[in-house]
Structure formats: structure tokens, C-alpha cells
């Protein structure tokens, strides 16, 4: 179990006690599985790491997040390669593209929950994995035959669920049973996708088509067929696990707070067919955000899917008044940054209306659900529209409740997700 160091000796660094780190200095030494790291809680220093000094940091090695996924495209360590594939993906993820896909997103979401039966409990995380898988496949990798796409959706749903619950560190991350399940799910999905690429490369669309037609660049060869397949799997998994985790929390909050649910439903009815974009201050909207987007912004504040991040210094670095050598592991947590009482009064209270007066600034990283800087999430505009559309498609049809006495615990794995979330649907 990770521990933090202090003058009094080790202090437990457990997820439920992370808040303690905010009470220390801006940089504190911690240990993750016996490896020392510097934990940063100052949002200005975090922005320095992600933006201004981003070139001095590479990927950290303390958390086992995506070792089975592609490292040749968007996840490439080389900045030039990353920028290339970022530009390649951008046309399919920008705000205008997301708006064009909204009707298809809604149809896919409705289809994903069509099998629900009134009064019969539903594993919401699995359902949201299925909905997000269908949206990712149909919008980013279109052109596949309908029956093949259906099989891929089910395979991707299984893979996404295994990835969401994958432990990041410690003995749990090394246990054979979860690793084997994840490896089987990965192999099954990847093998089927590889067959689709081999059989129908000319019929593909979206980002997959862009990867297949990507010309060889000067001095850098284009991706091989295997690397294209790995890159496709990576993009699909990234688009699915984060969306499914956020949507699970969103539906849980609505079930627990009927007044907020009423406001969301009224706002969804008012904005039906519109495209308001992301909340103001996040780089995609103008003016005060509508209630639905304020609600989603608050879900992302309290339950950011990428809840902890590690970087490794490529050269000597300075954080505040301290200097660290190359090779130093540096960590920060959006979970903690988003719950800092100095930035967010009454930080643990779920309050969508705080976004009427609070707006993240460009000077710090007090709100980074999608990261920041050159390696921030390229799919942020797409994600805002997908979350809004998914939320509307589900809540207009169904009211979800949690069994009385149920306590939902957060699980800090690959994403921050509910440990287990069974909810009972009833028609509106």
C-alpha cells in the first residue's frame, strides 16, 4: 500500500484518506509500492508540469494503466508522433463533428437500454459500457457490417468493463486472475477487429480510415497493420471507459438527488435538438452553461475518471523552491485538485450552480478532468456532447433508483468508478 513520508514517519496513502495530502506542503514525498515519488497538490505547479514545462516530463511508470494498449500513435512517447496522430484524430473529435454525430449517439444509447425491464435491477456500469462502446464504434470507426459491429460492441463492452476495474498498483495489480481476464478480453476484441480490417479495409470510415490512409511521413514510417489495429483498440477503449464511468456516477447522483434530476430533465427538454457545447471556461462554449452541462461539469469535478497521474522527469526539474533530478517520479491527482476547499467552497457538496460563478482559469490546473497541455484529451469536445446526449437518451425514457440502504463506494482503479452499481429502472 502506498505511504507518504513525514517527520513522524509513514502516513497511509489510501484513496479514502487522500484529502490529508492537501494539508501538507505543495510538494510531498510519497511511496508507491516502495518507489519514491513527489506528490504535487498546488494547481499552479501541476499546470507547470502539464503545460509550460511539459517537454521535460515523460510518462510515469508507477501505475499500470494501459500497458496492453498501443504506444505507437496517440500514446507514443515521442512528442512529434503524438502531435501527428493528434492532428489525424482531431477532425473526427472536434465540436462540429460531435454535433453531427449527436442523432446517431442518441439512437445507439436508446438501443443499449432497450432491453431494460421495469423493476428488474440493471448493472449500470455494464449498460453504460455497452452504450459507450456502440457510440465509439459507430462514430469513430464506421463502415463495418451491422452484424459484425454488434459482435464488436459486445466484445468491447467486456473489455471496457475489465479495463475499468483494473487495479493500478500493489499486489492487486499483479494478481493473475484479473490480468488473465483482461488479457482474454483484449485478445478476443483485437482479433475480431483485425479480421474486419483485413476483410473490409475500403469500407472503413472515421479515424480508422484516416489511420489506414495515412501516408508515410518523411523519416517516419506509417503505422503497420498491427499497429493500426492496436491504435484502434486504444482509441476505442479510451473513449469507452471514461464515458461509462462518468455516466455511472451521473445516473447515481440523479437517483440520490431528485431535485437536481428535475432540473436536468427540464433543461434537457428545453435544449432538445440544440448543441450548446461545453461549459463556459472549458474552451468550447460561450456564456453561462445550461443546467445539464453544469451538472456534468460537477460530476466530472467530484468524480474525474482519470483520478491520478504520474509523470517522470526527463531532466532536472524545479517545483516551487525545490529542485529534483532527472528520473524523479512526479504525481498529482485531479480528485484532490477538484476538492480543494481554497478553490471550491464546501468542496464535497454536489452543486451544479457553483459553475455560474466559478470558472477555471488558464493559470492553474484546479479543474482538469480532461488533462491539460499538449497531451490533454483530444476527444474533450466529443466527450461533452456524448455525455449530454447519453444522459438525455437514458433519463427521458427511464427513472433509475438505488435499493434502499445501498451504499455506493468509489473504486480507484484505471478509472474512478462506483464499486458496484445496481439500479432499478422504471419508465417515465
Alpha-carbon span 132 to 95, nearest angstrom: 18
Lowest mean pLDDT among 22-36, 57-71, 146-160, 246-260: 57-71
Q: Are 127 and 423 in contact (CB under 8 A)?
A: no
243 torsion bin: left (phi>0), alpha (psi -120 to 50), beta (else): alpha
Percent of all residues in the chain with a pLDDT value above 70, rounded to a whole number: 83
Domains of the chain: 3-427 (1.10.630.10)
pLDDT at 131: 96
Looking at per-residue confidence, does 361 or 177 come out higher?
361
pLDDT at 5: 42
What's the Cα-to-Cα distance from 165 to each of 68, 195, 277, 334, rounded to whole Å?
Answer: 15, 27, 30, 19
Residue 284: pLDDT band with limits 50, 70, 90: very low
pLDDT at 13: 41
Q: Are 14 and 335 in contact (CB under 8 A)?
A: no
What's the whole-model pTM score? 0.90
Instruction: Answer whether residue 94 shows pLDDT above 50.
Output: yes
pLDDT at 288: 63
Q: Are 158 and 139 in contact (CB under 8 A)?
A: no
pLDDT at 287: 54
Mean pLDDT across 40-58: 93
Instruction: Answer whether residue 46 shows pLDDT above 50.
Output: yes
Is residue 323 exposed (0-12), middle (13-18) or buried (19+ Cβ within 10 Å)? exposed
pLDDT at 10: 31
Amino acid at each position: 500500500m502506498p505511504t507518504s513520508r513525514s517527520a513522524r514517519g509513514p502516513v497511509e496513502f489510501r484513496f479514502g484518506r487522500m484529502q490529508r495530502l492537501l494539508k501538507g506542503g505543495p510538494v510531498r514525498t510519497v511511496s508507491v509500492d516502495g518507489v519514491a515519488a513527489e506528490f504535487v497538490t498546488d494547481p499552479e505547479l501541476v499546470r507547470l508540469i502539464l503545460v509550460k514545462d511539459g517537454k521535460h516530463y515523460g510518462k510515469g511508470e508507477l501505475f499500470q494503466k494501459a500497458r496492453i494498449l498501443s504506444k505507437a500513435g496517440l500514446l507514443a512517447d515521442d512528442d512529434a508522433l503524438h502531435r501527428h496522430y493528434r492532428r489525424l484524430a482531431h477532425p473526427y473529435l472536434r465540436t462540429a463533428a460531435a454535433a453531427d454525430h449527436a442523432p446517431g449517439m442518441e439512437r445507439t444509447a436508446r438501443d443499449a437500454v432497450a432491453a431494460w425491464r421495469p423493476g428488474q435491477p440493471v448493472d449500470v456500469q455494464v449498460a453504460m459500457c455497452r452504450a459507450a462502446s456502440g457510440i465509439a464504434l459507430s462514430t469513430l470507426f464506421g463502415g463495418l457490417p451491422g452484424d459484425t459491429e454488434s459482435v464488436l460492441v459486445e466484445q468491447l463492452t467486456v473489455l471496457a468493463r475489465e479495463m475499468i476495474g483494473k487495479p493500478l498498483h500493489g499486489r492487486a495489480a499483479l494478481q493473475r486472475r484479473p490480468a488473465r481476464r483482461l488479457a482474454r478480453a483484449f485478445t478476443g476484441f483485437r482479433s475480431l477487429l483485425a479480421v474486419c480490417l483485413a476483410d473490409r479495409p475500403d469500407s472503413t470510415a472515421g479515424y480508422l480510415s484516416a489511420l489506414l490512409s495515412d501516408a508515410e511521413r518523411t523519416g517516419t514510417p506509417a503505422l503497420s497493420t498491427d499497429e493500426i489495429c492496436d491504435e484502434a483498440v486504444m482509441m476505442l477503449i479510451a473513449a469507452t471507459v471514461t464515458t461509462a464511468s462518468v455516466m455511472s456516477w451521473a445516473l447515481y447522483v440523479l437517483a440520490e438527488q431528485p431535485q437536481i434530476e428535475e432540473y436536468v430533465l427540464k433543461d434537457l427538454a428545453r435544449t432538445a435538438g440544440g448543441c450548446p457545447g461545453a461549459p463556459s471556461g472549458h474552451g468550447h462554449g460561450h456564456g453561462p452553461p445550461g443546467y445539464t452541462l453544469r451538472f456534468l461539469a460537477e460530476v466530472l469535478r467530484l468524480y474525474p475518471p482519470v483520478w491520478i497521474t504520474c509523470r517522470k522527469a526527463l531532466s532536472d526539474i524545479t517545483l516551487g523552491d525545490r529542485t529534483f533530478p532527472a528520473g524523479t517520479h512526479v504525481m498529482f491527482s485531479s480528485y484532490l485538485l477538484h476538492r480543494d476547499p481554497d478553490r471550491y467552497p464546501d468542496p464535497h457538496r454536489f452543486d451544479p450552480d457553483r459553475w455560474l460563478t466559478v470558472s477555471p482559469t488558464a493559470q492553474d490546473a484546479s479543474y482538469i478532468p480532461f488533462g491539460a497541455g499538449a497531451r490533454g484529451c483530444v476527444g474533450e469536445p466529443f466527450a461533452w456532447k456524448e455525455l449530454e446526449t447519453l444522459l438525455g437518451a437514458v433519463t427521458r425514457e427511464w427513472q433509475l433508483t438505488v435499493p434502499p440502504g445501498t451504499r455506493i463506494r468509489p473504486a480507484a482503479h484505471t478509472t474512478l468508478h462506483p464499486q458496484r452499481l445496481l439500479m432499478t429502472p422504471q419508465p417515465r
